Amino acid sequence: MDRKQRIIKYGSLVHFSCEEGYIAATGLEAEDLFIREKNGTDIDEEPLPLLGFETSVFRIEAPASSLTAKAQEAVADHFSNNNTLLMEHFSNINTAPELMYGKTFLLLHSVSQMCVAVFPSRPSKSDPNCVRLVLVKPGEVESDFCEFVMTPRYKIHDDGDPVCRGDEVLLRLAAFPIFVHVTGRKHPGLNKWGMPFEEDGCDSSINAFEKGLAAGRMVDDLRSEVNGSEERAVGFVVQRYDIGRDQANYQRALYHIARPYVPSGVPVLLYHRERESFLTTSLTSESRQQKESEETKKTMGANVVSGGDNGISGGALSTNKESSFVEGVFVSRSATQLEGSGTFTPDTPDANDNTDSDVDHAGTPFPLLMKDETSTGCVSNEGTAFNDVWRSCTALWILENENSTIGGAVRMQSVKYRLRQACSNMYLAVAGSGIDAFFEGNGESDFSESVDGMGAAALEEGSDAGSNSSRNQLRAASLCMIPPPRTTKDLQRTLFTLTPMFFTECNFLIENDCLTLQNVLTGMYVCTQEARDRLFLQWQPSVSDTITVRSSRQEIVQDVMFLRSHCERLCRYRDAFQALARLKKSRHPSFHRDGGGLEPYPGKRESSDSCEENLTPTRAAFVQGGALSTDFGVSSLGRQTRTTETPYASILPIIYASQSSLEELIRFCSSARVRDALRLDGIPIVRRQRMIFELNIHRLVMDVILTPFSLLQSEETDGMGDKTMSGMLPWGCSPRLPPLPLMGGFFCMGDALDDAHSEVHLVCRLAFRFLRQMVRKAKMLKKWLVEFIPYFLELGGHRFRVSDTMTELFSENNSVPRPVVESVADHFIGSLRRGRSAGHLNLLASMCTVGFSGIFERQAMVCQKLLVENSELLSRFVLNQNGEWAVVVNEGEAPVECGALFELMRPHNSQQQMGSDAKYARFLQSEIQLLGCLCFDGCPS
């Protein structure tokens, strides 16, 4: 190819590779760049193609002050070229400014749209002689720290020569002689599971769960770091990611197509025009959860057990329950447990229809269509994107090229793609007896020849009579969702081709054009049935399946990718503690002495400089002559340098990263300037709150709270062999919450207040604060946390500030069942016997009113349980000798004037004055508020 045809221009998407791999970043603010290896590894440690390559893609942008930027603004890119393109206008597109050696540019991360910048005030975490490279928000740093230039690796080009695909270059900061460098991380004191080396064989009791966890999540610190150095540099090969963009725009101009093309590697919406529905999955469809909840209540009835052991009787916590057939196995995906063995035999022997309850493999979700009830007005307007956040945040899909290092416009027919759900990172795949026979019997032959007579009948007739006890039962070819492929079988069964439904001369996929999806392995087409939301496979495409691809609002895409990145961190935290708990349970030599006692490893509590993610606001490092700010938020305050015995020193970076993520998530759903996440109480952002529940993040946060104290997998899932937690619920959550009381975790809940566990305690406090913020002033969302109330009560008394979360949960909420309200009232009234707490009284007050109206039943219950049966727990008001109201603080002591008590709460008083008397004054204030709430609409007692 002529060098002129390989020139890289401003606005292009590129990736940089070296011998170790590709420069990458997950997309979080203040995150260090790292090197992603060129090949993944499968379960047998064999090379595997990279997936999710968009994290290694960067956009070349011109600095805002340069002349090149002004020229670039006039050039339409594939995100904003909605205007009609004619041949006479194509020259304006094809003449974007060329990137030349010595010319300045910005590197914008394609996923997060954040800018790559040098962090000159902080040394690299891997090499103290280097400085950090991080992601920052555009405009928050000085241009000197984020403008780069390219210089040729070898002296074959001069300044002013164009940069072309395949050139080996050096990246240098334009204002300073700092080159981009790579440093490999080494931890000689830890083995590959992140644990200290032992003389005994560590591999003996490591099962597939811990191996997979170590390979994919727990050892992120072992990857190479991208940093900056004045003395050393690494040569990178620059390649263009959006190959074919110019050709796609040329064809659009040639055929007068005004609509933009569909890019690969970018989240888009798959919309069924005929049925006015989005493509989503079974585990992220709220409407399906509500529907199956109603069906389950009708069929199960009194068989639902909802925490009766905790003083909550008779199905009070019977919340949303999902059940499905998993190749003949009945799987419940609810938080509470069902009576019986967990298996179910269908009443009708005919299972030939591809119904909504057909699911491949145990607990695996499947694709379905979600009815669009709010955005139908946008369908007729081809130039607009869908704006409804609640309906589209789980319907975002990424078309990923078989060669994931190639992006650009999606090509029709000739190129294979994988469909990945953006929020869950799960792939669309096919499953069935024929697929198993192809890989087990004759994997090298053609698919149609590998299927035996029974398998062919299963494919053609659509029969599905799977059984959990026999693999010889027939299972129809069906669609399912699987985690990122790690086997050859999964790689091949996730490939699809896109074919235009109607004839078109354009070779690229254009927005709003109807298409058909064909699986490469089976040759079958993705179709729908008129009366069902479930997708199925058949040999011929259906003319009624008018599936189109549409774009979504950019802020929705950014929010979804932001949430996914932080949730992946929280998953690492949860899975790390689950792996430690299993190793402890198996008496692994890394965790036990010969005598059987747990051996804590002395570890140093380091400052935030050595954490996995630096929590310092990035803008503080780019001051213009002033002093650096030290207002870093709560995490850095609780992370001051000190030495103590830490029983899980190897995962401290994961713990610190989880604290940072929870802080960012709290700020994500709140509008406030306060940096301290534990005290943030800003205005909630409603659309983001709804997005959090739509993506089922509240369930993951509950796992984060419970993971140090309990094993999260149930006995049923333990019997699944090598199958991991991923795929059962979003974010790999177990189908059921652990039983109460909590046990089996890495340490007991009674030890939560120990100094050695202070970092884990902070994670729990932040998690409870996040739960509070996600339902703050959101009445319709509070119902999703009701099922967690028994666990809130179990976790109370350990300074997690559970009462604050429950106060917000009960505020303006009259839908909580009465048995649950009674159990909460009994619990906190019992806590009042152990000590006065204004928070407990605030909780009792919040459950008695909605607005300025009282809830009679709850008012009567609190009056009976507190004012009548436990009146000694409240303060007694009397008149003193001067005829003024006073309070009897302690029996036998003189009453204290009310005015004197409340005077202690005024701001001008010193901290010493606001001691125990001030706490009692707050208790008294809460008591008066509670009595007022009990009198709304008339006191019932």
Query: Comparing 428-432, 607-611, 644-648, which segment has the lowest mean pLDDT?
Result: 607-611
Rg (CA), the chain: 30
Nearest alpha carbon to residue 15 among 5, 23, 25: 23
Separation between Cα atoms, residue 670 and residue 367, nearest integer Å: 32
Beta carbons of 184 and 20 less than 8 angstroms apart: yes
Q: What is the CATH number of domain 246-308+319-552?
A: 2.80.10.50
User: Between 409 and 455, where is the model more confident?
Assistant: 409
Task: Decide: pTM greater than 0.85.
Answer: no
Average pLDDT over residues 384-394: 57
Query: Quick check: 271 pLDDT over 50?
Result: yes
Please tell me the predicted confidence (pLDDT) of residue 621.
34
Burial 66-90 (b: 16+ CB within 10 A, else e): bebbeebeebbbbeebeeebeeeeb
In tens, the pLDDT along 137-192 reads 888 888 888 899 999 888 888 888 889 888 899 999 988 889 999 988 654 444 43
Q: Is the pLDDT of residue 405 over 60?
A: yes
Lowest mean pLDDT among 5-19, 326-340, 826-840: 326-340
pLDDT for res 705: 93
Per-residue DSSP letter, 99: P
Phi then psi dihedrals of residue 121, to 5 deg: -85, -5
How does pLDDT run across 406-419, given as a tens digit for each residue? 888 888 877 899 99
User: For residues 706, 708, 711 and 717, what is the CA-based torsion angle, rounded to 10 degrees?
Assistant: 70
Give the mean pLDDT of the chain. Answer: 71
CA 675-678-684 angle, 5° bins: 75
> What pLDDT score was predicted for residue 901?
64
> Are 236 and 58 a contacting pair, CB within 8 Å?
no
Are domains 3-185+223-241 and 246-308+319-552 of this chain identical in fold? yes
More confident residue, 706 or 529: 706
Q: For 111-147, what is each residue's pLDDT tens digit? A: 888 899 988 778 888 888 888 888 988 888 888 888 9
The burial class, CB within 10 Å (0-12 / 13-18 / 19+), for 499 is middle
Question: Helix 838-846 and helix 818-834: axis angle, to 10°?
Answer: 160
Kindly report the CATH number that applies to the domain delimited by 3-185+223-241. Answer: 2.80.10.50
Residue of 332, 333, 301, 340 whose CA lies nearest to 318: 301
Residue 578 CB partners (closer than 8 Å, separation 6+): 707, 711, 712, 713, 725
Which is nearest to 300 in space by CA: 344, 269, 261? 344
Phi, psi of 287 (to 5 degrees): -65, -35
How far is 386 from 388, CA to CA, in rounded Å? 6
Q: Using an 8 Å Cβ cutoff, are 396 and 273 in contact?
A: no
User: For residues 270 and 634, which has the higher predicted lDDT (pLDDT)?
Assistant: 270
For 862-882, what is each residue's pLDDT tens digit? 888 888 888 888 887 777 777
* Percent over 70 (pLDDT), the chain: 65
What average pLDDT does range 519-537 have in this prediction?
A: 82
The larger pLDDT score, comparing residue 620 to residue 22, is at 22
Quote the pLDDT of residue 779: 86
Q: Which of 336-350, 553-567, 905-919 has the lowest mean pLDDT?
A: 336-350
Q: Is 520 exposed, middle or buried (0-12, 13-18, 19+ CB in 10 A)?
A: middle
Residue 907 has pLDDT above 70, yes or no: no
pLDDT score of 169: 92
Each residue of 197-214: pLDDT tens digit? 443 333 433 343 333 334
Residue 116: its pLDDT value, please?
Answer: 92
Which pLDDT does position 285 carry in this prediction?
52
Q: In this structure, are residues 458 and 476 in contact, taking their beta carbons and an 8 Å threshold?
A: yes
pLDDT digits over 9-63, tens only? 888 899 999 988 899 988 888 888 899 888 766 555 666 777 888 889 999 988 8
CA angle 914, 927, 775 (to 5 degrees): 90
State the number of CA atoms in the 13 A half-sphere of 672 facing the CB.
Answer: 20
Position 108 scores a pLDDT of: 92
More confident residue, 622 or 865: 865
Find, among 12, 23, 27, the residue nearest to 559 by Cα: 27
Instruction: Write out pLDDT tens, residues 771-788.
Output: 999 999 888 898 899 899
